[in-house]
Structures are given as structure tokens and as C-alpha cells.
Chains A and B, each alone.
Chain A
Amino acid sequence: MTAEQHDFEPRVIAFCCQHCAYAAADLAGSSRLAYPTSLKIVELPCTGRADVLNILHSFEDGADGVLVAGCLSGKCHYQSGNLYAKQRVAYVQRLLADIGLEAERVRMVNISAAMGAQFAELATEMVETVKALGANPLRPGPPEPREHQAGDRP
């Protein structure tokens, strides 16, 4: 990882299902488990609502990474919304590769509402992955200077 990569504050959009990942993020917060503030959460009724266009437009508007966080396999409140989301994320990964961005910038994870600690871990992991990849070259303007955060790892 270059010094420049360390120095930028990634913007990661997390599309979170209200039934699981959003509640898990809430649990992480109430359990005082820190995760990077660079993760911006968008609450969805189900990850099945995370459309290909939502994800693509996130990147076009400068997001460095997108995390789609849905219920555990077989536990979707709408039967199969998380399975559709998984397929769409795989589709966006192929699109990103065609476009010329790294496919690793988008990722699907499955967790339950009780997995607050895992949410914090996955969020941190995603932000670290994106940091290693560097800023989205489509991001308008210069990279924002990195500020110290409580959740930073040494």
C-alpha cells in the first residue's frame, strides 16, 4: 500500500437490509463497537431493492466502494431478495471489470441482526480493501485528507 493510498479517506456506501445488516450496524453501535465512519449506510427494506443502477451510480458519483449487506442465506424476509442481490452484485462486478474498475470495489455480505460484532469487522475489512485499491479514479476533485478516527486500527 502506498503512502497516498493510506492518506485518502474512502467513501464506501453500504446498502443494508433493514431486517438484518441495518439492525446489526445498530447493535454494533449500541455495543460500542467501532467501525469506520467512512462507511455510509443506506437503509433498504431488503437488499433485493439494491438495483444495479443504484450501485453503478454510486461509483459514477465517486464512491470508492459499495457493500451490499443482506440477510443470511435462506433467511430473507421476502424469501429471495438477498439471493437476487447476490446475483446483481456479481453482475456489477463483471460490469466494473468491463468498465475498467476493480471488481473488488463491490461486495455482498450476509449477516443477521444479532451479528453486530461481525458487521463492524466486515465494514472495517471492506474499508481496508478499498483503501488498498486506492481512490475511485472517477471521484470528482482531489481526495479528501484523512482524519483520525476512533475506529482506526493501529
Chain B
Amino acid sequence: MIVAEQKPLSSLKAMLEGHRKVLAVGCGTCVTVCFAGGTKEVGILAASLRMTRGLDGEPLEVDETTVQRQCEDEYLEPLADNLGDYDVILSLGCGIGVQTLAQRFPDTRVLPALDTKFMGRPTEQGVWEEHCQACGNCILDLTGGICPVSRCAKQLMNGPCGGSQDGRCEVDPDTSCAWQLIWERMDRLGLADRLMDIQPPRDWSSSRDGGPRRVVREDLRTPGVADEADG
């Protein structure tokens, strides 16, 4: 899932200065699961904003709604009808949700209530950890299902490095050494000998240095629309 965290209330208050009527829009997918931008978090943030602005003597009207997925246009359609009532949209979606709202409603200002952190999973209740950097060239088959790109501080392809101490990373003793985990897992699978093959320097061209990446599935594109888009 995409993991996000709410911005400090003081930042959001500053962003909303001068605005009087806000639509706070949550997202029912990733940020609901990581407790950053679901229906409940929208309620908590809306109440907090109403209260803090009330204390300042500058009341803020905050209406609340949550759509199933902020990152797809069709889920935003129900918002179109009443949008004229609001000065601004406060999105509790990830960065993609904010951008989808901004693109769908270009005449309304859209503000981000969250900081999008990473793609990860809960390692225990209330704790999320990054597990994928979307490098575009998955090598989990070589590493026992443990990703050195996202979980090794040095993104080593042939580890561990000398900073691995008792299974911990030298960068942060609370972080497991990804390569220790990889060796243990591969050993358990009876595949440790494969780690003796040296991996060549990695081709990062599939990663994110060439601007926004696209995935195109010709079989799924809408006939006619696709031809027009491609010129």
C-alpha cells in the first residue's frame, strides 16, 4: 500500500488561511488502511480544523466526504455537483489523489493534507515500513522475496556490507540488515549457493530518473480514444 502521514495541524492551518469553506476529501483505499486519510481521519482533521479556527475567531466550515479511490477520475464524479460551494478542496489522499483531484477540477484549488511517505506494509500494528521503491525491474526472485533496493540503505546488489552488525544495519540499529535477511531466507530455501553469483551493476534506466514513467496496455485502451491520444 501507499503509506502516508498527516501534515502537522499548524501547516494545514497556514495553508487554509483566508479560506472559509473547505471540502475535506478522504480516500477509501491505501490511506484508509494506513490510518492517514480514511473516513475517520477526515472526521478527526475536520473537527480539529473547525475547533482551532473557532478558537481564533475565524470560523472554518469543513464538510467531510470520502471517495473509494481518489486516484481514478470516475470516483470523483459525485463531487462535481456541489463543488461550487467550496473555496478549496483539502485532499487526504496520497500525492496521486491530490493530483487527480486537481486535474479533474482545474478551477478549484486542491491542497494536500498528507505527506506521502512510501510503498510499504505494516510490520506490526501502528508501524509501517518501506518495502518497495518501484524501481521498475523487480529482482525479488534472486533475493528470496526481500528487496535490497528499498530495504538496504546502500541498495547493494551483492551484500551484506561491512556495516552489518548482528543482523542490524549500521545506519539505524532499529533496521534489520536486508542482506542478512536475504542470506537467511535463501539458506532456509536451500538456495544460498545462488548468492555466490555476483550480480552485475544494475540497470537503473527503469527507475525514476527519466521523468514520469508510463505503463501502456494496448489491449485495454479505449478504441478510438487511444488513436486520438497517440495522434
Between A and B, 13 residue pairs with Cβ closer than 8 Å are A51-B40, A53-B47, A56-B48, A57-B47, A60-B50, A95-B9, A98-B8, A99-B52, A99-B55, A100-B51, A100-B55, A101-B51, A137-B54
CB neighbours (8 Å) of A95 from chain B are 9, 44, 48
Interface residue ranges of B1-55 to A (CB < 8 Å)? 8-10, 40, 43-44, 47-48, 50-52, 54-55
Partner-A contacts on B (CB < 8 A): 8-10, 40, 43-44, 47-48, 50-52, 54-56
- The distance in angstroms between the C-alpha atoms of A57 and B51, with both chains bound, is 10
Q: Which residue of B lies closest to A91 (CB)?
A: B44
- Ranked nearest first, the 4 interchain pairs of A and B with the lowest CB-CB distance are A98-B9, A99-B52, A100-B55, A56-B47
In the assembled complex, A52 has its CB within 8 A of some CB on chain B:
yes
- Closest-CB distance, B133 to chain A (whole angstroms): 30
> Once the chains bind, are A99 and B40 in contact (CB under 8 Å)?
no
- The distance in angstroms between the C-alpha atoms of A81 and B145, with both chains bound, is 36
Partner-B contacts on A (CB < 8 A): 51-53, 56-57, 59-60, 95, 98-101, 137-138
> Once the chains bind, are A53 and B55 in contact (CB under 8 Å)?
no
- Closest-CB distance, B55 to chain A (whole angstroms): 4
- Main SS of the interface on chain A? helix
Give the tally of cross-chain contacts (CB within 8 A). 40
- Closest-CB distance, B59 to chain A (whole angstroms): 10
> Once the chains bind, are B52 and A100 in contact (CB under 8 Å)?
yes
CB neighbours (8 Å) of A52 from chain B are 40, 44
> Once the chains bind, are A60 and B47 in contact (CB under 8 Å)?
yes
- Closest-CB distance, A139 to chain B (whole angstroms): 10
Contacting residue for A59 out of B10, B40, B51, CB 8 A: B51
Q: Which residue of A lies closest to B39 (CB)?
A: A53
> Once the chains bind, are A56 and B52 in contact (CB under 8 Å)?
no
- Closest-CB distance, A1 to chain B (whole angstroms): 21
* Given A53-B40, A98-B9: A138 and B47 interface contact (C-beta under 8 Å): no
CB neighbours (8 Å) of B8 from chain A are 98
Q: Which residue of B lies closest to A98 (CB)?
A: B9
> Once the chains bind, are A53 and B43 in contact (CB under 8 Å)?
yes
- Closest-CB distance, B12 to chain A (whole angstroms): 10
> Once the chains bind, are A56 and B44 in contact (CB under 8 Å)?
yes
CB neighbours (8 Å) of B43 from chain A are 53
- Closest-CB distance, B160 to chain A (whole angstroms): 36
For the A-B complex with A137-B54, A137-B55 known, give 17 more contacts whose Cβ atoms are closer than 8 Å.
A51-B40, A53-B43, A53-B47, A57-B47, A60-B47, A60-B51, A95-B44, A95-B48, A98-B8, A98-B9, A98-B48, A98-B52, A99-B48, A100-B52, A100-B56, A101-B51, A101-B55
> Once the chains bind, are B44 and A138 in contact (CB under 8 Å)?
no
- The distance in angstroms between the C-alpha atoms of A57 and B54, with both chains bound, is 14
- Closest-CB distance, B7 to chain A (whole angstroms): 11
- Closest-CB distance, B106 to chain A (whole angstroms): 32
- The distance in angstroms between the C-alpha atoms of A52 and B43, with both chains bound, is 10
CB neighbours (8 Å) of B56 from chain A are 100
CB neighbours (8 Å) of A138 from chain B are 51, 54-55
CB neighbours (8 Å) of B40 from chain A are 51-53
Q: Which residue of B lies closest to A97 (CB)?
A: B9
- Closest-CB distance, B114 to chain A (whole angstroms): 16
- The distance in angstroms between the C-alpha atoms of A15 and B44, with both chains bound, is 18
Question: Interface centre among A57, A98, A138, by most B CB within 10 Å?
Answer: A98
Q: Which residue of A lies closest to B48 (CB)?
A: A99
